Amino acid sequence: MRRRDGSNTFVGLETFITTGAQVRYACPKSHWLRKAPTCSGCDQRFHLFRWRHNCRVCGDMICGECSWTVYLVNAKSNVGRACYACSRASSVVEAPRKSSKVAMPIVKRPTCPSFLDSLRATEWMDSERPLGSYRGKSSACTMCKKSFVGGDAVVSLPCHDVFHKHCIGAHLALHDHFFTFKAPYVPLPP
């Protein structure tokens, strides 16, 4: 690791493990969120004294108070900032999946039970939906793309995407991560 004074310092993996820093793979810079008015961790507006930082694992925009140190194995700098969810998800490192003809083995790791317990489902109400709820997201499930109807149990994740409770529950029961679904969701084989 290069210090600000220009000298080189080797920071060993053991140091990070004993201090509680997690080992992670950095996402490519092209996946970083470019601009956001507020921190995804505390919802406080960015300003002169609350600087923007990108989570090096998921690319989300966070402030310095909501960032945690992680050890990055596939980046020039071996240390980076990460949001709370990415810094505490799991201590096992999993390489990112690459689109290639050789299929990588699928690692099933359930999400931390305390995180699952913290997800509160709310009932979707068509006619009484308050302005600004769910951060202006679509009125359809991010995963299955089906429209919400009155009475559906919905869950909003820290990334502010909204899902049917049964859609995201089934996914997080097998995986320790969530991601933004740009295309229709195709479940992974069991």
pLDDT along the chain (190 residues), means of 10: 44 47 80 88 92 90 90 82 78 46 45 62 67 56 84 78 81 62 51
Rg (CA), the chain: 18
- Intrachain domains 13-88 and 113-174 with the same fold: yes
CA-wise closest residue to 179 among 51, 46, 55, 23: 55
The domain locations on the chain are 13-88, 113-174
CATH superfamily of 13-88: Zinc/RING finger domain, C3HC4 (zinc finger) (3.30.40.10)
State how far the Cα of 167 lies from the Cα of 173, in Å rounded to an integer: 10
What is the model's pLDDT at position 165? 84
CA-wise closest residue to 158 among 38, 49, 23: 38
CATH of domain 113-174: 3.30.40.10
What is the model's pLDDT at position 112? 57
